[in-house]
Amino acid sequence: MGQDILLIMKSEMILTAIIFIILFLKIWDGIKNTTTLLTLVNLMLLGNLIIGFLGNTEGDLFSGMYHTNNLIALEKNILNMGSLIVSLMAFDWLKTHKHLLEFYVILLCTLLGMYFMISSGNLLMFFLGLELSSIPLAALANFDIEKVKSSESGVKLILSSSFASAIMLFGISMLYGTTGTLDFKAMAPLLNTGSQLQILSFIFIFAGFAFKLSVVPFHLWTADVYEGAPAPVTAYLSVISKASVVFIFITVLFKLFANYGGMWYNMLYLSILLTITIGNLFAIRQNNIKRFLAFSSISQVGYILLGLSSGTSMGTASALFFLLVYTFSNLGAFGVISLVSAKTGKENISDYNGFYSTNPYLGWVMAISLFSLGGIPPTAGFFGKMFLVTSGAEKGTYLLIAVAVMNMVVSLFYYLRVVKAIFIDKNEQPIARLNGSMSVRLALAICLIGMITTGFASGLFEYIHTITGK
């Protein structure tokens, strides 16, 4: 039994060990060189990523409260890869920060919560994992405690997140009251569309997920939190945190509330229309680049929901594939933003005028990242959005597809606006040449390679489709 636990909970065990090692390094205080500390932590995160692909198995623990399989292992590895890239791109910011080890303890605790949330087979395990992944995020958003905006960001995130969690917990309590169980498998057959209390509980749980994903109209916290948080934390919030919620949202929709397919499709339909359209319209108006990417990420969530709306394994595979592509694309953009913010403190789009003249490599990374987010071929973002739109079309709701495609055209306007600032607009005093550390350059290279090659890796999509269909 002990061997089974070690094998099935391999990811959680390794991550917990890394957290304890970092705590020991903090207490010991024997390594004074911050570069050495950061390199050591990044090597441990790399080891965690490599081991995550080895020896994966399927199994249940704790009477079904914990579950893992090849799909869940892949989801965790996407989070591992994204966390490693965020850590690499935060190198220049953290090496001058006196609380760098505390940053990693908090960050990895959120990642551990995401692990448990994704592997949950029980609503209690799900909620505990959700809170473990959510509460420390407020501390990360407030990590630059000397900045007023960072403190505001942390306060807004914890207050709004607490309200959303309370709504979701209320919905979970009503489900338990009507079914007498918290287990996903036992509860699913007991849910029927004739119970008004169960319908209300589903609405509450859906609203909780909508908040975590920044679905309109539950998105109002997003831009303020993204703007105030440090750039690497904003990257983590926009990619890793949202990806983990999408992973468990798929399970809740397709397995727990499978009998409510007609209802949640109508709710997704309206949410998709509002999220894609409003996200795009507000992105056009932004000048702060982090707020700009905040509304961009809201719009991207709408496309993910479009893929899920089909309710098929193809839709699930498309959403997972797009999240992988989105990880490379959004983190590529945030990698450049993090470096610029750490070196100069500039975060407005107008600050990037003439950026290419002094930083050609960073300019190209930013441009290709925006091309991928906009779905311009031959970047991976084009293939990701093509799969999502194709999956969404399986329901035959062509009005929804038409709105989604038109919004893709609208998004090109604001993505190319930033590209125009980088390559065409003149600036008498452009951002000086930035020499990022080797870690930052490695993170940007990984994102660049991922954006160019992932779309052509047809075998990868086929593998994801195969394991989602099981």
Q: Mean per-residue pLDDT for 188-194?
A: 80
pLDDT band for position 15 (50/70/90)?
A: very high
CB 344 within 8 A of CB 431: yes
Query: Domain map of the chain by residue range?
Result: 2-468
Mean pLDDT, the chain, whole residue set: 88
Work out the pLDDT band at 455, boundaries 50, 70, 90.
confident
Q: Percent of the chain beyond pLDDT 90?
A: 35
**Residue 463: Cβ-neighbour burial (10 angstroms; 0-12, 13-18, 19+):** middle
Q: Is the pLDDT of residue 413 over 80?
A: yes
Rounded to whole angstroms, how far apart are CA atoms 68 and 74?
10
Give residue 470's pLDDT: 60
Q: Contact at 8 Å (CB) between 57 and 88? A: no
What proportion of the chain, given as a percentage, has pLDDT over 70? Answer: 98
- Measured distance CA(83)–CA(97) in Å, rounded: 19
Residues across the chain: 470
Contact predicate 329/447, CB 8 Å: yes
Judge whether residue 3 has pLDDT over 70: no
Task: Check whether 17 has a pLDDT greater than 90.
Answer: yes
Cα-based distances in Å from 354 to 270, 359, 425, 444: 40, 9, 6, 20
pLDDT, one tens digit per residue, over 336-352 is 988 888 888 888 888 89
DSSP 99: T
pLDDT above 60: residue 1: no
End-to-end CA distance of the chain: 26
Q: What is the pLDDT of residue 301?
A: 92
- DSSP SS3 for 163: helix
Amino acid at 187: M
- pLDDT, one tens digit per residue, over 124-183 is 999 999 999 988 998 888 888 778 888 888 888 888 888 888 999 999 999 998 888 898
Average pLDDT for 189-207: 86
CB-CB contact of 413 with 282 (8 Å): no
- Measured over all CA atoms, what is the biggest interatomic distance in the chain, rounded to whole angstroms? 68
Instruction: Render 261-326 in DSSP notation, one character per residue.
Output: HHHHHHHHHHHHHHHHHHHHHHHHT--BHHHHHHHHHHHHHHHHHHHHTT-SHHHHHHHHHHHHHH
d(CA 331, CA 59): 32
Q: How far is CA 85 from CA 89, 211, 320, 440, in A?
A: 6, 25, 18, 9
